[in-house]
Chains A and B, each alone.
Chain A
Amino acid sequence: MAEFVTVGRSDEVPEGEATAFAIGDQEIAVARVDGRLYAFDDICSHRRCNLALGGEIDGTTITCECHGSVFDLETGAPENPPATEPIAVFRVREADGEIQIER
């Protein structure tokens, strides 16, 4: 059964920014756009750059700073090459000032 695990505090993800959190051996990024949270694999599917670190959020997409791949935050789909593979996305919620991701 799916469960939500706390990854960090709400104030660690300001509006318009993305922050990476470690869950076990996985790095998951959380972005906030117009108040809404999006959670996704922090590792770019192209050359494994960290997306949250230096990635640019524009609308509901993030652009990897290494080689310009663009991903849809909602679906993880690649919107612009060089990436051709999607990144995983996760359900995310906020409760009591904490960010929780479904595992």
Chain B
Amino acid sequence: MTAPESIVVVGASLAGATAAATLRDEGFEGAIVLLGAESSPPYERPGLSKEVLRGEQPIEEQLVRPPEWYADHEVELRTGTRAVQLDTGAREVILAGGERVGFDRLIVATGCRNRTLAAPGSSLPGIFELRTAEHATAIRRAAAAGVRVVCVGMGFIGAEVAASLRTLGCDVTVVEVFETTLYRILGPEIGRVLEGIHRDHGVAMVFNDTVASFEGERRVEAVVTSAGRRIECDVVVVGIGTEPSVELMAGTGLDQGSGIPVGPTLETEIPGVFAIGDVADHAHPVFGAVRVEHYDNAVKMGVAVARNTLGAGEAFDDPHWFWSDQYDHQIQMAGYAPTWDSMVVRGSLEERSFCAFLLDGNGVVRGTVSLDHARDVRRSFGLISARAAPDPTALADPDVDLRTLVPAEEG
């Protein structure tokens, strides 16, 4: 393909804004249009469940770039502008209202939306979700010390919200479909360690149960569960997972429930059309098809896609990494391990300080999880990328530097 003259980014997000900024850093002098459905300039979301929710930092401190950065760098940032359709023949994005924006290269960073509960009463005031700055502000206004909150779902968002609201002095009860916290990502053993931390901080937890309905006259007053519990409350925060926002790709065959499929270089099967961040179902050179919703991945895919729209042609092979801050504890995870056959622990689950290695049936390190033991996760990146299968005794030995266990490259 010829060198691009215009690049359109759909999604004024961390990934999208990073892509735009990298294009300028790489010397691209053509037109860049950054389309965002939200009213704010691009901002980072990790603080929404933590510092912003606790009122410690305003949203202005979460901006990816200062508001004036975009005009200063001739990036046409159009907030409050929703792209609704892609015309692949004309190579144009169609906006709500019908305006068409042409492109030589398109970067789709439309992210995810939250799954919603269909339970009766779910539209009552006092029931919140968390994805945007506005959501965080709304929860913050509703949740003061002594307010009774039910968190539905104890994945990472639910767990961080529960921790932040407990820290504010709210009375927090959790309703979770699985048998413990963070079960789906971290499994039962590590999940129970986190469960213990939340219990020690005074969070009440109901497991193996779901919301049957919400009760209330003008506002939510109680959650009724499938097992028949009735939990009185003032506020509900629902965090039961996400689904990728793929509507833009309707008619292309790329609007898959698993995300927008992209090859190793982040390009879709439509030449010159790329997808990054939470919405991208990426053919990862090490992990296979994988879609993640990590901060670090959004940044790194933003950088990589910018280079690839300009012709670099580089496979994106980052080993994936994320963190979760809860109370004064930090979880970190690297790699991709939807399932694993065995787990080796360095440190101690009981003492809540460990790095756990998630191994497949061949002893290959597919992922690492730490609790307040972050250095070993960072040092495991090489093992994960190399698909290494080190001696489990060495993995468990805190005196062994994980970087020394990466096999030398062949050839």
A80 touches B379 (CB 8 A): no
Chain B hits for A61, CB < 8 A: none
| Closest-CB distance, A42 to chain B (whole angstroms) | 16
Nearest residue (CB) in A for B381 is: A56
**Assembled-state Cα–Cα distance A66/B296 (Å):** 12
Whether A66 and B299, one on each chain, are in contact in the complex, defined by CB atoms closer than 8 angstroms, is no
Interface string of B38-62 (1 = CB under 8 A from A): 0000001010000000000000000
Q: Which of B295, B296, B378 contacts A65 (CB under 8 A)?
A: B378
Whether the Cβ atoms of B379 and A68 lie closer than 8 Å is no
Contact of A68 among B64, B321, B375 (CB under 8 A): B321
How many Å lie between the Cα of A65 and that of B296 in the bound state? 13
A63 CA to B323 CA in the complex, in Å? 14
Q: List the B side residues contacting A63 at CB < 8 Å.
A: 378
A103, chain B: closest CB distance, angstroms = 30
B44 touches A82 (CB 8 A): yes
Smallest CB–CB gap between B370 and chain A, Å? 10
- CB-based nearest A residue for B14: A81
Contact of A66 among B18, B64, B330 (CB under 8 A): B330
User: Are B296 and A68 within 8 A (Cβ)?
Assistant: yes
Assess whether A80 is in contact with B299, with CB atoms less than 8 Å apart: yes
Closest A residue, CB atoms, query B50: A47
B344 sits at the interface (CB 8 A): no
Q: Determine the chain B residues whose CB is within 8 A of the CB of A56 once the complex forms.
A: 375, 378-379
Whether a CB of chain A sits under 8 angstroms from the CB of B144 is no
Residues of the A chain whose Cβ atoms lie less than 8 Å from the Cβ of B44:
81-82
Say yes or no: is A54 at the interface (Cβ < 8 Å to chain B): yes
Given A65-B374, A66-B323, verify A82-B330 contact (CB < 8 Å).
Answer: no
CB-CB under 8 A from A82, the residues of chain B are 44, 46, 295
Q: Find out whether the CB atom of A65 lies under 8 angstroms from the CB atom of B321.
A: no
- Determine the residue in chain A with the shortest Cβ distance to B377: A65
Contacts of B378 in A (CB 8 A): 56, 63, 65
Report the interface size class on chain B: 10 to 19
Q: CA separation between A54 and B295, bound complex, in Å?
A: 20
List A residues 35-86 near B (Cβ within 8 Å).
54, 56, 63, 65-68, 80-82
Select from chain A the residue with minimum beta-carbon distance to B373. Answer: A54
Query: A81 — which chain B residues lie within 8 A by C-beta?
Result: 18, 44, 64, 299
Give the residues in chain B near A54, CB-CB below 8 Å. 374-375
Q: Say whether chain B's binding surface is mostly helix, strand, loop, or mixed.
A: helix
Interface string of B357-393 (1 = CB under 8 A from A): 0000000000000000011001100000000000000
Bound Cα distance A56, B46 (Å): 22
In the complex formed, the residue of B with least CB distance to A53 is B375
Considering the chains assembled together, what is the distance between the CA atoms of A54 and B323 in angstroms?
15
CB distance from A94 to the nearest CB of B (A): 26
Task: Tell me which residues across on chain A come within 8 A of B375, comparing CB atoms.
Answer: 54, 56, 65
Q: Are B295 and A66 in contact (CB under 8 A)?
A: no
Are A66 and B374 within 8 A (Cβ)? yes
User: Which residues does chain B contribute within 8 Å of A68, judged by CB atoms?
Assistant: 296, 321, 323
For window 313-343 of chain B, which residues contact chain A by CB distance below 8 Å? 321, 323, 330
* Least CB distance, A8 to chain B, in whole angstroms: 22
Distance in Å: Cβ of A67 to nearest Cβ of chain B: 6
Closest chain B CB from A10 CB (angstroms): 23
Q: Mark B1-34, 1 if CB is under 8 A from A, else 0.
A: 0000000000000000010000000000000000
**Interface residue from B18, B323, B379 paired with A67 (Cβ < 8 Å):** B323
Q: How far is the CB of B368 from chain A (nearest CB, A)?
A: 13
Of all chain B residues, the one with the shortest Cβ separation from A68 is B296
How many angstroms between the C-alpha atoms of A80 and B375 in the bound complex? Answer: 18
CB-CB under 8 A from A80, the residues of chain B are 299
- Residues of A near B46 (CB, < 8 A) are 67, 82
In the complex, how many angstroms separate the beta carbon of B285 from the nearest chain A beta carbon? 21
Report how far A80 CA is from B296 CA in the complex, Å: 10
**Within the assembled complex, what's the spacing in Å between the Cα atoms of A82 and B46?**
10
Knowing that A65-B374, A81-B44, A82-B46 touch, tell me 18 more A-B residue pairs with CB under 8 angstroms: A54-B374, A54-B375, A56-B375, A56-B378, A56-B379, A63-B378, A65-B375, A65-B378, A66-B323, A66-B374, A67-B46, A67-B295, A67-B323, A68-B296, A68-B321, A81-B18, A81-B64, A82-B295
12 contacts between A and B (CB under 8 A): A54-B374, A56-B378, A56-B379, A63-B378, A65-B378, A66-B330, A67-B323, A68-B296, A68-B323, A81-B299, A82-B46, A82-B295
Chain A interface residues toward B at CB < 8 A: 54, 56, 63, 65-68, 80-82
- A-B complex: 4 closest residue pairs judged by Cβ atoms: A65-B374, A54-B375, A56-B378, A81-B299
